[in-house]
C-alpha cells in the first residue's frame, strides 16, 4: 500500500489526513487524490462521518463556515483543497460567479431546455408578424404557453439577439389584467 493510501489511526488530525492525500498540480491547485463524490468534490470519512474535503480544509485552516455561506472556488476546481483558492459566498454569489466566468449553460445547451435556438427565433418572428397567440405558437412547438411567452418576450433565451424579443401585446396584457392574472 502506498504512503498516500495508508489507513489513518483514530485521532489523526483532519489537516494531516488532507495533506497526506493531496498533490500540488501544475495549475497551482492542491488537488485531493482520495475519494470523489458524485458531484465531483473530494470526500473523506472521519470517525464514521463523511466530509466534503474543500469545506473540511477551510474549517481546518480558517475556522467554522458561517450559516448561510458556502465555500466557493476561485479556481473552479472541485478537487482543490487550497484555501488560498477559496472564498466564502452565498448560493447566489456562486451562481453569479458561474455566469461571470461563462460556465452556465444557456439555451439548447441546457439539458432542461424545451426549445432550440432556431425555434425561439421562429417563435419571435411569428409572434411579431401578428395573428397568433402564445398558446397557438406554443402548441406548434410542443411547449407550454408560459415557456413560449417567456422565450418570445426575452425573459428567457436572452442570448438570442439576432431576432429581438417581442413585448407582449396590449390586448394580451389587458385580457390577463381583467382576468386577475397580472
The CATH code of the domain that includes 95 is: 3.90.75
Split into its structural domains, the chain has a count of 2
Same domain? For 68 and 95 the reply is: yes
Average pLDDT over residues 31-50: 92
Check whether 2 has a pLDDT greater than 50.
no
Which region holds residue 45: left if phi is over 0, alpha if psi is between -120 and 50, else beta?
A: beta
Beta carbons of 57 and 83 less than 8 angstroms apart: yes
Residues 90-139 pLDDT 10s: 999 998 888 888 777 677 767 778 899 999 999 999 999 988 999 999 99
Same domain for 69 and 148: no
Q: What is the pLDDT of residues 163-174, one digit of tens each?
A: 988 876 655 545
Alpha helices in 21-178 (DSSP H): 53-62, 91-100, 117-129, 134-141, 145-153, 170-178
- Judged on CB neighbours under 10 Å (0-12, 13-18, 19+), 179 is exposed
More confident site: 54 or 97: 54
Q: Are residues 15 and 66 in the same domain?
A: yes
CB 37 within 8 Å of CB 66 = no
Query: What is the maximum span of the chain, computed from C-alpha positions, in angstroms?
Result: 75
- Among 70, 100, 130, the domain-final residue is 100
Range of the domain at 65: 3-100
Domain co-membership, 26 together with 10:
yes
- Is 80 in the same domain as 116? no
Task: Give the model's pLDDT for residue 11.
Answer: 73
Report the alpha-carbon distance of residue 78 to residue 153 in Å, rounded.
36
Q: State the average pLDDT for the chain.
A: 86
Local structure of residue 11 (DSSP, 8 states): T
Q: What is the pTM of this model?
A: 0.61
Amino acid at each position: 500500500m502506498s504512503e498516500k493510501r495508508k489507513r489513518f489511526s483514530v485521532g489523526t488530525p483532519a489537516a494531516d489526513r488532507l495533506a497526506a492525500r493531496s498533490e500540488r498540480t501544475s495549475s497551482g491547485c492542491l488537488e485531493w487524490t482520495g475519494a470523489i463524490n458524485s458531484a465531483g468534490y473530494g470526500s473523506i470519512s472521519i470517525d464514521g462521518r463523511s466530509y466534503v474535503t474543500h469545506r473540511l480544509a477551510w474549517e481546518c485552516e480558517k475556522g467554522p463556515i458561517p450559516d448561510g455561506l458556502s465555500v466557493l472556488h476561485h479556481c473552479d476546481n472541485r478537487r482543490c483543497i487550497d484555501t488560498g483558492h477559496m472564498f466564502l459566498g452565498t448560493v447566489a454569489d456562486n451562481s453569479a460567479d458561474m455566469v461571470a466566468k461563462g460556465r452556465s449553460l444557456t439555451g439548447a445547451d441546457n439539458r432542461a431546455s424545451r426549445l432550440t435556438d432556431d425555434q425561439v427565433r421562429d417563435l419571435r418572428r411569428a409572434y411579431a408578424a401578428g395573428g397568433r397567440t402564445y398558446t397557438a405558437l406554443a402548441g406548434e412547438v410542443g411547449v407550454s404557453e408560459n415557456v413560449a411567452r417567456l422565450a418570445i418576450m426575452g425573459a428567457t433565451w436572452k442570448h438570442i439577439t439576432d431576432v429581438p424579443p417581442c413585448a407582449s401585446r396590449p390586448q394580451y396584457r389587458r385580457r390577463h389584467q381583467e382576468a386577475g392574472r397580472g
